[in-house]
Each structure stands twice: as C-alpha cells, then as structure tokens.
Amino acid sequence: MLSPIQSLNPRTAIRLGAAYGDGTVWFSLEDSEGRIAHICIDGRDGSQTRYRLFDGARHPNSPDTVLIELGAPEEGVIVSLASTWLDSGTPKDLGLTEFGWDLICDTLLRIGESH
C-alpha cells in the first residue's frame, strides 16, 4: 500500500526512478520504516500542470494522484532526494537510458515552473 509523501520520515530515499516518453518522470520512495510513496512530475508538452509535482502515482493521469501545491515543501524534498539519487551512479548504474537521465535532470531543474 502506498503512503502519502508527507507521511514518510526524514530517512527517506529514492529506490527507483524512470521517465515516460511523454515527458513524465516518476520516483518510488521508501523510508526507514519501509513505507513507500510514488510521486511524479508532469513533463508533458501542452499540459496545464507541466512541471508540477503529483503524489500517489507514477503518472498524472492516474485516478489516485494528488496535485501538490506550488512551492510546497514536498517539491524541495523531491529535488534534494532525486539529486542525491542521480549523483549516486551513472545512468546505467541506476537503470536509466541517456534519454531518461537527461529528461529527469531537465525536469528537476524546471519543477514548479509555470507555463
């Protein structure tokens, strides 16, 4: 069962991340007590929620997803966790293609940007 991101404790890390061809990136997080959360960042061209963070799913189209308020603390948490995760290895080490790596990096730089 998934937990909301705000319920995870401070000892949380990304266990998996990926990117979809439509520009959406997602991460699976796990805290030290084994609670898991999924979040995604909408990177779809033309989307009204482009570069916005969603909690509870790996894609903004999922019926279980919750849009996170702009400037919410969760945005900073995700950028920090994702940066640490990306710094932990090469794209190959993390199971990413070069396209996925570049898309995740670009999307993290734009999170919260309005269009």
pLDDT tens-digit series, residues 42-92: 999 999 999 999 999 999 999 989 999 999 999 999 999 999 999 999 999
Q: What is residue 90's predicted lDDT score, i.e. its pLDDT?
A: 94
Burial of residue 94 (CB within 10 Å: 0-12, 13-18, 19+) is: middle
Phi, psi of 63 (to 5 degrees): -70, -15
pLDDT tens string 91-100: 999 999 999 9
If pLDDT is split at 50, 70 and 90, which confidence band does 115 have? Answer: low
Q: At what angle do helices 73-87 and 98-110 cross, to 10 degrees?
A: 150
> Quick check: helix, strand or coil at residue 49?
coil
Structural contact between residues 9 and 31, judged by C-beta atoms closer than 8 angstroms: yes
Element (H, E) at 113: none
Rounded to an integer, what distance in angstroms lies between the CA atom of residue 37 and that of residue 53? 13
Evaluate whether 34 touches 52 at the Cβ level (below 8 Å). Answer: no
